[in-house]
Amino acid sequence: MTHPQPDQAQILAARALAEFWADMGLEEGRVLSARLLARRGGSAARTPAHTPERAPASGTLAQRSTPTMPSGPRPEPRKLGGNPIAEARRLAGAAASLTELRAAVEAFNGCDLKKASKNTVVCDGAFDAPVMIVGEAPGGEEDAQGLPFVGRAGKLLDRMLGTIGLSREDSVYITNLIYWRPPGNRDPSPAEMQICAPFLMRQIELKKPKLLLTVGKFATHAMLGRADGIMRLRGRKLSYAQDGMAAVPCVPLLHPAYLLRNPADKAKAWDDLRVIAKLCDELGIRRGPGL
- Chain positions contacting ligand URA, by CB under 6 A: 135-139, 142, 148-149, 153-154, 176, 215-216, 257
What are the strands of the beta sheet with 238-242, ordered from one edge?
A: 123-125, 172-176, 131-135, 211-215, 245-253, 238-242
Residue 279 CB partners (closer than 8 Å, separation 6+): 50, 211, 237, 249, 251
Residue 147 or 238: the one with the smaller Cβ distance to ligand URA is 147
Task: Report the nearest approach of ligand URA to the CB of residue 289 (Å).
Answer: 26
Query: How near is the Cβ of 138 to ligand URA at its closest, in Å?
Result: 5
Indicate the residue among 187 and 205 with the shorter CB distance to ligand URA: 187
Closest residue (Cβ) to ligand URA?
135
**Based on the number of CB atoms within 10 Å of its own CB, is 8 exposed (0-12), middle (13-18) or buried (19 or more)?**
exposed
CA separation for the pair 275, 40 (Å, rounded): 17
Shorter beta-carbon distance to ligand URA: residue 45 or 192: 192
What CA–CA distances, in Å, run from 98 to 90, 126, 177?
Answer: 15, 11, 16
Q: How remote is the C-alpha of 247 from its chain's centroid?
A: 17
CB of 68 or CB of 175, closer to ligand URA: 175
| CA gap 252, 269 in Å, rounded | 10
| DSSP-based three-state secondary structure for 186 | coil
Q: Which is nearer to ligand URA, 216 or 225 (CB)?
A: 216
- Of the pair 138, 249, the CB lying nearest ligand URA is at 138
Q: How far apart are CA 243 and CA 37, in angstroms?
A: 43
Q: Which is nearer to ligand URA, 154 or 235 (CB)?
A: 154
Q: Tell which residue, 90, 81, 85, has the closest CA to residue 63.
A: 85
Minimum distance of ligand URA from residue 64's CB (angstroms): 19
Q: In the bound complex, what is the minimum distance in angstroms from residue 71's beta carbon to ligand URA?
A: 21
**CB of 140 closer than 8 Å to CB of 150:** no
In the complex, the smallest distance separating the C-beta of residue 202 from ligand URA, rounded to whole angstroms, is 19
User: By three-state DSSP, how is residue 106 classified?
Assistant: helix
N- to C-terminal Cα separation, the chain: 20
Nearest-approach distance from CB 183 to ligand URA, in angstroms: 15
Q: Rounded to the nearest whole angstrom, what is the least distance from the CB of residue 54 to ligand URA in the complex?
A: 25
